[in-house]
Amino acid sequence: MGTRAGRTKAGGQRDLVFWVMVFIGASTVAAGLVQLVAPGFMLDLLDAESTAASRHFFATIGMFMAVIGGGLTMALFLPGDHRVLILWAGIQKFGAFAAVSLGVQRGIFSGLAILVALNDLASSAIVFWYRRRL
């Protein structure tokens, strides 16, 4: 893949959408780390049951969020074709939307969690759009 003026080595323009993608990746890392380190705090915010098992599994999900967010952020800056990693980051964001929405529907999370779900849905749309532009 050749490079053009104003493009990163990975092929994406460093325009507003690029920087939104960087924000999505970095904020996914940050949210994942908070969930990993303080799962009880996050479960309390979402008005969800906080048991040893739920905290453990919520922390595990946070670890995977941090890994995917970190991978996405690195893929944006490293040379090479990282479209497959960007694809999986979009899938993770859409999966988070579906899982959190289902949790709200089942009464596991409070209605406030729908804002988290909508953020993940918007993030997945941006990630898929960005990937398509590459």
User: Does residue 6 lie within any of the structural domains?
Assistant: no
pLDDT at position 13 is 74
- Domain range enclosing 91: 16-133
Q: Return left, alpha or beta for 5; rule: phi > 0 is left, psi -120 to 50 is alpha, else beta.
A: beta
pLDDT at position 125 is 98
- The domain total for the chain is 1
The fraction of the chain above a pLDDT of 90, given in percent, is: 90
Q: Residues 98, 78: contact at Cβ < 8 Å? A: no
User: Does residue 56 lie within any of the structural domains?
Assistant: yes
- The string of pLDDT tens digits covering residues 51-103 is 999 999 999 999 999 999 999 999 999 999 999 999 999 999 999 999 999 99
User: Does residue 5 lie within any of the structural domains?
Assistant: no
Q: Residues 17, 126: contact at Cβ < 8 Å? A: yes
User: Does residue 2 lie within any of the structural domains?
Assistant: no
